[in-house]
Amino acid sequence: MTTPMISACSQERQVTVRDWKRPSDTNEQQSRKRLQNVDRKLDKTHELKRVYNNIISEQLSQGVVEVAPDTPTGDRVYYMPHKPVVRQSATTTKVRMVFDASAKPNASAESINDCMYTGPPLQPNLWDILVRARLMQNLILADIQKAFLQIEAKEEDRDSFRFLHTVNGMEKHLRFTRVQFGAEASPFVLGATLQHHLGNQPLNIKIPSTR
């Protein structure tokens, strides 16, 4: 079985290429129906609508998403439904934009998740981490902010992660330029990217003494 592949770096970030089993349905009509439900919910809560629209505006300005071209740049087009998820107890992001890459236009169709190879699990077991942590004199802990969105998606794969959004009553077609959280292969792509960069680091790192 083949798996998603890591390609060469661009000037700013890692570029990844996914491997696909077969084409998918576009899911555009189903996505449009679910967007209408989301719009009705947002119209009832103006503050939630403002925050939700700001999320997309920010991602557009950061290049995380872009306006989808009239002519697709890849072999497949798929529209992901989305909705706001509110967590008032969260200390940082209280409103998240959650996408459904498993949505199907009908029971006999396939989602975009059904059509991609997921790759093997690359996350280390928690038990292994705990054991190694007790054997080492020094530990390095790090957290990558919005890790999936730090990895660029290949141009040919971007139309597989389109979505619809309403701006001032007008329907807009957007697509992700980065690895999309919620897609089946994304954990493998992230893990493979991290392993790729860690493997390119020197084996012997001199740590200055703190004494």
Cβ atoms of 152 and 15 within 8 Å: the answer is: yes
Please list the residues that pair with 12 across neighbouring strands: none
Q: What is the pLDDT of residues 169-190, one digit of tens each?
A: 899 999 999 998 888 888 888 8
Q: What is the pLDDT of residues 53-74, one digit of tens each?
A: 999 999 999 999 999 999 999 8
Q: What is the pLDDT of residues 16-64, one digit of tens each?
A: 656 777 667 889 999 999 999 999 999 999 999 999 999 999 999 999 9
State the burial class of residue 24 (Cβ atoms within 10 Å of its Cβ: 0-12, 13-18, 19+). Answer: buried
Residue with tokens 């979505």: 163
Which contiguous run of DSSP H or E holds residue 77?
Answer: none
| pTM confidence score | 0.80
